[in-house]
Amino acid sequence: MFYLNAGPLSISGYALTIKIAIFAPSMKNLQAFKSLISSPKRVVIVTHFKPDADALGSSLGLAGILIKKGHSVSVITPSNYPDFLSWMHGNDSVLALSNDNPEIEKKAEQLIKDAEMVFCLDFSSLSRINSLGELIRKSSAIKVLIDHHLEPEDFAEFVQWTTSSASTAGLIFELIEELGDKHLIDQDIADCLYAGLMTDTGGFRHNNTRQKEFLIASELVGLGANPHETARKIYDTNSLERLRLTGFVLSQKLVVLPEFNTAYMTLSQEELKTFGVQTGDTEGLVNYGLSVKDVKLSVMMYDRKEEIKLSFRSLGDFSVNDMARKYFDGGGHRNAAGGSSKLSLEQTLKKFLEILPEYKVQLNKE
Ligand code: 5GP
Ligand code: MN
């Protein structure tokens, strides 16, 4: 919900602030949505492959609210996720798909078949959730998309979407507020949503951090979220191997190309093995590239065995969403995007270096 603050009025000594509520334009049919969730439903919440704190935090935060409203809720993730997210309330009942265990996929399939509503959180197209995508497309459940990525696919009956929100967790908070359910947010739910808000803004530092992110964060802290503990659990629970990997990447793998104001780093299967890399260990490495003076584009690519995964970060007008979409079957936001490649790591790097000249002028703009 957006508030237009009409300024303080003073009536007989009491300061009074008039607030005019303007509903976010995204959930157009809010009343229909409200009445739909006013009676218990079988609900499935799905988020993207390799969920990050925003994906998992918004899913578990929403799950917490829907459970309190009497719904039967299952959270399904298309893959595992980092250990540093496992503190989130509801983590124990998440159904995380895994290649090693086909039983889990069968269970997920059944849950989606039986679901009356499927919520898709923090991703914009069904192709980002692998096999679950087609199951959801085919399912007769009512679909709800809540997301902040560019160019969403049109598959959902209810949509709460805007790229101006820094996080999906923030959109979930606003939706809860619009539904009049803010009183249902307890400390566990507040922590989950706060984690999404904190990480997707890079600790309230990225250029997606508006006043509203602070307002929502402030509300969440008022409802029990603990900024220090949440930050510690996410950022300061490194394994020694992960920290050593960071040291290795910074000292040996980070390459800067001054003529393109670009930094890149690559990690092979062998290197990942040497450091015993776990899910989530490479998260955030790409940001170091952008911390080099004058660098506008940073790319990290690593060998995920089945494909090469790419992470892009940029500053200012340079759109890594465009680059990832055009050349690496990906997308995301203007300044943070991801993609993949079926080529080898060497060939993927070669392709990247070959397309760079196309962007030279843009990358050298003040
Ligand atoms: P990261 O580099 O942290 O994996 O992702 C950066 C942003 O791009 C995130 O918002 C993430 O959801 C999005 N993203 C990452 N990988 C992909 C991808 O393969 N396809 C699309 N469309 N978006 C991605
Ligand atoms: Mn997000």
The residue contributing the CA closest to ligand 1 atom 16 is 338
Whole-number pLDDT of residue 26: 59
Averaged confidence pLDDT in the chain: 92
Q: Which ligand is nearest to the CA of 122?
A: 2
337 Cα nearest atom in ligand 1: 8
The pair of three-digit structure tokens given for residue 305, joined into one six-digit string: 């065995």
Higher pLDDT, residue 6 or 103: 103
Residue 127 amino acid letter? S
Among the bound ligands, the one closest to the CA of 54: 2
Whole-model pTM above 0.75?
Answer: yes
Q: Encoding tokens for residue 298?
A: 């940073």
Which domains, ranges and CATH numbers included, belong to the chain? 2-15+19-234 (3.90.1640.10), 240-363 (3.10.310.30)
For residue 356, the CA-to-ligand 1 centroid distance in Å is 20
Name residues contacting ligand 1 (CB within 6 A): 48, 128, 149, 311, 330-333, 336-340
- Cα 105 to Cα 50: distance, rounded to the nearest angstrom: 16
The minimum-distance atom of ligand 1 relative to the CA of 286 is 2
What are the pLDDT digits (tens) for 303-334?
999 999 999 999 999 999 999 999 999 999 99
pLDDT digits (tens, 9 = 90+) for 30-63: 999 999 999 999 999 999 999 999 999 999 999 9
pLDDT digits (tens, 9 = 90+) for 266-289: 999 999 999 999 999 999 999 999
Q: Structure tokens of 272? A: 């990942």
3-state helix/strand/coil string of 117-159: EEEEECCCCHHHHCHHHHHHHHCCCEEEEEECCCCCCCCCCEE
Is the distance from CB of 76 to CB of 45 less than 8 angstroms? Answer: yes
Structure tokens at 148: 């902040």
Identity of the amino acid at 266: T
The letter for the amino acid at 10 is S
Q: Can you read off the two tokens belonging to residue 182? A: 């803010």
**Tokens at 177, concatenated:** 């507020």
Contacts 24+ apart (CB under 8 A), 25-33: 25/162, 26/159, 26/160, 26/161, 26/162, 26/171, 27/158, 27/159, 27/160, 27/175, 27/178, 28/159, 29/158, 30/178, 32/158, 33/144, 33/158
**Residue identifier of the C-alpha nearest atom 13 of ligand 1:** 332
- Among 124, 128, 234, 320, the mutation site with the greatest number of ligand 1 atoms within 8 A of its Cβ is 128
Ligand nearest to the CA of 310: 1
Interval between CA 7 and ligand 2 midpoint (Å): 32
